[in-house]
Structure 1
């Protein structure tokens, strides 16, 4: 009697022949098989244990919080990757975890939320245009995740160019806000891309134990792709710091310019304020109290003093 398909088993394929064939029954461990699993549903531990997966590996693939890493064991390896989050309404830089367990010639992949790179490969397999072997599947998974990351970096580069353009980026305060958000996005990416490079590099180093030479070379190419992506992120972060310093310098120059003009205005009005203060004293003996034209004479004198000060400051090159 055929056992019902487990709810947590999203997809399963047999790569023992080309093109790969979907598995609807006999869902047990065997070489050249790929099982794609929803890791947050019940019954996974029991099913993996029935397929001979050791308990430490089961704990590793079902652990909640992980970072990209590569771990070798006697019967294969565990590779944990992070991919761009392309779920609608989510932030792409909140990268999704994909755990890949290669054990005795079979691959088990585990997800919590849909990973677009895996979805692309599943569609190709359904159209009989997907990977030709299990090893090819592994390389294609890494390649597709790198492609999604490169697409995100292209978007970030465009945003960075807009921020560097004064005419399209808005006011300085708005550019500062956008720059801060972009900086946070890139820091989240670097947090996972750097250890992912190390994980793929270790897999490429040890890959000859499980993969064919051609697959190892493709893996080296994907490692180089991750290296370029990391270098692009680091370059973008340097651009962020440079633009941040430029904006801070603009703000400082504007403040210095405003302070300077306030100082000039205060300097012009200082003697005038002094004279108005002196002549505003209501005590006997003030000159011009009995004269009807004294007020206008005083105003003309204040205006003449202001003009002389203005010309003097201009001659001394205060601006």
Structure 2
């Protein structure tokens, strides 16, 4: 069966792996490649109703929780940690708990499940099916937390930079903003799904495991609030950049105005004395040009002192 990736029996402790399950078996975990051929037929033979099969095999999903008479459906998202991929392009993981068995479906590899598989193989993993479910949610949260922490460090680095290269800062903020928005797109509904799961799981989980599940829901809440806070910080940082750019433009405009004010009378005088018509004073005087230059210098100095006295800078 090419569609079967993992199957473990949790009726014993530690859990044991088996390779050729033929039908529904309670207290077992089955992990499937959801786009492989033959999976639909196997699920039908295992007694899974067709509406549930359609729900876990549909292409586009958002995190959600749906209570069933014999279990529940839980759709989650985890960060994409594959080499060369963007973590914010979150992967979909579908979970179906039906008549005491847990079915999970993925299209691309999940680091969280790979970690739990290693634990099960070394006999240090979850001891029950509900323990496995809580541990899986914990691993998904840990991977998301690593990505969020890296984004927070990047934001702190940007905030610590000067405003000398505002264009580069804008590009960095835009890239970070896009990443956080993609994470927030799925973290928000995932929090709502885990809240519903926490409420419903109280009747099927031991008290200790249910408390661990509550802790993981709180972790998701904290990650959501952390992302929301960083989005606000990005907007504040952008406002500061815009303010710095505006102040720089105002300062440059001010100095251009001062320079233009100083040279305005000088330009007027040079323009007047540059007229090549008869009657201009000093045309016949050999020292007229020197006297005119000295006069321009004196006028420029007087203007400079006057502007300084009036506190133009």
Q: TM-score, normalised on structure 2?
A: 0.97
Match of 1:37 among 25, 28, 32: 32
d(CA) in 1 for partners of 2:292, 2:271: 13
Q: How does 1:220-259 map to 2 (within 5 A)?
A: 220-259=214-253
Q: How does 1:308-319 map to 2 (within 5 A)?
A: 308-319=302-313
Q: How does 1:291-310 map to 2 (within 5 A)?
A: 291-310=285-304
Shift in Å, 1:208:
2.2
d(CA) in 2 for partners of 1:114, 1:301: 83
Match of 1:262 among 256, 267, 271: 256
**1:271 matches 2:287:** no
Match of 1:58 among 47, 53, 56: 53
Shift in Å, 1:279:
1.1
Shift in Å, 1:7:
0.2
Identify the residue that residue 166 of structure 1 maps to in structure 2. 161
Shift in Å, 1:170:
7.1
Identify the residue that residue 3 of structure 1 maps to in structure 2. none
What SS does structure 2 have at the residue aligned with 1:7?
Answer: coil
Aligned residues: 313
Identify the residue that residue 145 of structure 1 maps to in structure 2. 140
Shift in Å, 1:210:
2.6
What SS does structure 2 have at the residue aligned with 1:209?
Answer: coil
Identify the residue that residue 10 of structure 2 maps to in structure 1. 15
Q: Which stretch shows the higher mean deviation, 153-162 or 21-30?
A: 21-30
Match of 1:102 among 90, 97, 101: 97
Q: Which stretch shows the higher mean deviation, 276-285 or 139-148?
A: 276-285
d(CA) in 2 for partners of 1:226, 1:116: 18
Alpha carbons 1:81, 1:196 under 8 Å: kept: yes
Shift in Å, 1:151:
1.0
Identify the residue that residue 70 of structure 1 maps to in structure 2. 65
**1:283 matches 2:239:** no
Alpha carbons 1:84, 1:148 under 8 Å: kept: yes
d(CA) in 2 for partners of 1:170, 1:187: 27
d(CA) in 1 for partners of 2:31, 2:147: 25
Alpha carbons 2:141, 2:219 under 8 Å: kept: yes
Q: How does 1:81-96 map to 2 (within 5 A)?
A: 81-96=76-91
CA RMSD after TM alignment: 1.2
**1:219 matches 2:234:** no
Identify the residue that residue 133 of structure 1 maps to in structure 2. 128
What SS does structure 1 have at the residue aligned with 2:202?
Answer: helix
Alpha carbons 2:63, 2:186 under 8 Å: kept: yes
d(CA) in 1 for partners of 2:197, 2:212: 12
Provide Cα deviations, 1:120-174, integer angstroms capped at 9, x if missing partner: 000111111110000101000100000111111111111111101126x972211
What SS does structure 2 have at the residue aligned with 1:179?
Answer: helix
Provide Cα deviations, 1:3-61, integer angstroms capped at 9, x if missing partner: xxx10111110000001000123342111111111111111111111111111111111
Identify the residue that residue 109 of structure 2 maps to in structure 1. 114
d(CA) in 2 for partners of 1:90, 1:110: 20
Alpha carbons 1:76, 1:210 under 8 Å: kept: no
Identify the residue that residue 20 of structure 2 maps to in structure 1. 25
Q: Which stretch shows the higher mean deviation, 204-213 or 38-47?
A: 204-213
Structure 1 unaligned residues grouped into runs of 5+:
1-5
